[in-house]
Amino acid sequence: MDETPRPKDASRRAFLRTTGSIGAVAAVGSSITGFTDSAGSTGGERIRTGPRIGGLDWEAEIPEIRGYPTLGELHRSIEGVRREHPRRTKLRTVGRSRGGREILLLSVGEGRNNALVLGGPHPNEPTGFLTVLHLARLAAEHPELAEGLDVTWHIVPCMDPDAMRLGEGWYGGPHTIENYYGKFYRPAFRNQVEWNFPVEGGFNSPLPETRHLMAVIDELKPKLVYTLHSSDFTGFHFMMNRDVPELVSGVERAIARRGLPFHAAPTDGGATPLGPGAYLLLPRVEPVPGEQMTPGASSIQYAERHGALGILPETAMWHSPAFEDTRGSGHRLPELLGRAADGLERDGEMLADTVRRTSDRFPALSPHFAAVTEGRELIGRFTRAYRRSATDPAQDREATVAERFDLLWMGHTLTLRPAGMLLQLLDGIDLDGIGDDAPDVRRARKRLRQWFVRRCSHMRRDFPGRHLDPRDLTALQLDVAFTAARSL
């Protein structure tokens, strides 16, 4: 099934032309206010030698990465891989989003085991878009990475193209805290494709995009589902739906090989630690009313009906050493929890007041406003949870430095996310067209923007650290993908 030989360097040049987002957008490693540059992102070639597969040093073939692709660039790049490798790839449209955008599926190789890789579960997690691009190219160019692992890679570049389109405004830079949060978008849970898969005996109202992906999963019956999440801050860990010793040890090696920090506590459903950087993903159950914001199951949990091994990475884009510091902070944990609750309550009241003064001017079905509303609900939930924990005798101890900074980070991100989306809504109001209400809206917008700028400044102060090299993050996600394929 090898395609007609062609000059390899010409193929690489063609790929890099189609991925103009990787080379032409403002550098991810360029000045990030409040963070120092990562070692490999400011110029000069840095090639690592990773684990070989069939004699292939695949990591050495990943070029320097200087940006995240937009939706258009992502789809053009995937189409470019198909054109360059017509005998090794198949590309089809498996459905359309609510906004009419294509959901693509690229299949590479002819191994016996189907491996499904899902990019873009959330638009603020763009590392996976780089991973799918490089997986597509590498597997198309090198049979060792497909047939050599006895897998066929089935790649959905973006699960939720509408959300990506709304959230891609900061991908091209400048990569500052202000720009990241100022152009931030992440749908409300009920509008997230990833968290709308049906729950057996419970939730069964998936979104149209989710139904398309259900059909793909049911058709392929994959042995592996790898849904490419990531995070903005903290450390690194991978969650999986069962304990596979080869995979658990591979995760540890993959993180350590690149000198990246392990995350000391799981998020998003991780429970039992399986090894450094590896956690067991809890099975999905029907939520208790008022206690769970995600309406349905995830892609991994849905694919379990076919016996799939599921993996969910959490790979951070920024990191501060404080998140790894287990020394005592000199502060009691209940004191810090109380402070965090007080701060969230103040910020929540400010956001609520802004919404009360302006919400009648927002589009009735605005996805941004739905996300802002849910963001305010999250602030309330965390405020109550912190107050409960502050009175728990089991928490009456000295907090570590990492715990202190985790509370600071949560306080910032829980408020900056909805604040940034609310500012986008306010900036979209035509003040000349609303008559007597214009002065009130203008004052509310100015007040929120002043708060937003101050809060971003406080975040830079609280988190001296570095932006991580996106090449390392891409290679890490690929390393775990290949390890998982070998374990099938």
The mean-pLDDT minimum among 26-35, 172-181, 347-356, 473-482 falls in 26-35
Tokens linked to 269: 């459903």
Tokens linked to 346: 């103040």
Compute CA distances 286 → 106, 200, 201, 225, 488, whole Å. Answer: 33, 8, 8, 22, 30
Please give the average per-residue pLDDT across 198-207, as a whole number. 91
Range 455-460, long-range pairs (CB < 8 A, 24+ positions)? 455/412, 455/415, 455/416, 455/419, 456/177, 456/178, 456/181, 456/416, 458/412, 459/34, 459/177, 459/412, 459/416, 460/33, 460/34, 460/35, 460/177
**pLDDT at residue 282 greater than cutoff 50:** yes
- Taking the C-alpha atoms of residue 171 and residue 175, their distance in angstroms, rounded to an integer, is 8
- pLDDT tens, position by position, 175-187: 788 999 999 999 9
- Taking the C-alpha atoms of residue 165 and residue 289, their distance in angstroms, rounded to an integer, is 32
Sign of CA dihedral 82, 28, 43, 261: negative
Torsion of CA 324, 325, 326, 329, to 10 degrees: -140
- pLDDT tens, position by position, 370-410: 999 999 999 999 999 999 999 999 999 999 998 998 899 99
**pLDDT at residue 256 greater than cutoff 80:** yes
- Taking the C-alpha atoms of residue 252 and residue 245, their distance in angstroms, rounded to an integer, is 11
Strand, helix or coil for residue 231: strand
User: Around 51, how many Cα atoms within 13 Å sit in the side-chain half-sphere?
Assistant: 20
CATH topology of domain 8-320+467-487: Aminopeptidase (3.40.630)
Confidence band of 264 (pLDDT split at 50, 70, 90) = low
Sign of CA dihedral 383, 384, 385, 388: positive
- Taking the C-alpha atoms of residue 428 and residue 405, their distance in angstroms, rounded to an integer, is 34
Contact yes or no for 342/258 (Cβ under 8 A): no
Contact yes or no for 218/206 (Cβ under 8 A): no
CA-nearest of 7, 39, 42 to 26 is: 42
Confidence band of 466 (pLDDT split at 50, 70, 90) = confident
**pLDDT at residue 2 greater than cutoff 60:** no
pLDDT at 21: 35
pLDDT at 50: 62
A 10 A CB-CB count for 112 gives: 10
What residue segments make up the domains of the chain, in order of their start? 8-320+467-487, 325-463
- DSSP class per residue in 37-86: PPTTSSSS--------BTTB-GGGGPPP------HHHHHHHHHHHHHH-T
Q: Give the β-pairing of 151-156 and 102-108.
A: antiparallel
Which segment, 32-41, 290-299, 370-379, is predicted with the most confidence on average? 370-379
Q: What percent of the chain is predicted at pLDDT more than 90? A: 70
pLDDT at 266: 53
CATH architecture of 325-463: Up-down Bundle (1.20)
Tokens linked to 173: 């830079």
The mean-pLDDT minimum among 14-18, 96-100, 312-316 falls in 14-18
For 105, list phi and psi in degrees, rounded to 5: -135, 115
The mean-pLDDT minimum among 2-16, 60-74, 119-133, 270-284 falls in 2-16
Q: Give the β-pairing of 102-108 and 237-240.
A: unpaired
- Taking the C-alpha atoms of residue 137 and residue 129, their distance in angstroms, rounded to an integer, is 13
- pLDDT tens, position by position, 100-135: 999 999 999 999 999 999 999 999 999 999 999 999
Strand partners, 36: 466
- Taking the C-alpha atoms of residue 263 and residue 261, their distance in angstroms, rounded to an integer, is 6
Please give the average per-residue pLDDT across 3-22, as a whole number. 36
Burial class (CB within 10 angstroms; exposed 0-12, middle 13-18, buried 19+) of 150:
middle
For 175, list phi and psi in degrees, rounded to 5: -95, 75
CA-nearest of 141, 229, 157, 252 to 483 is: 252
Could you report how far apart the first and last alpha carbons of the chain are, in Å? 23
CA-nearest of 25, 40, 61, 1 to 475 is: 61
Confidence band of 142 (pLDDT split at 50, 70, 90) = very high
Strand partners, 424: none
Task: Calculate the average pLDDT of the chain.
Answer: 86
- Only one residue has tokens 């739906």, namely 241
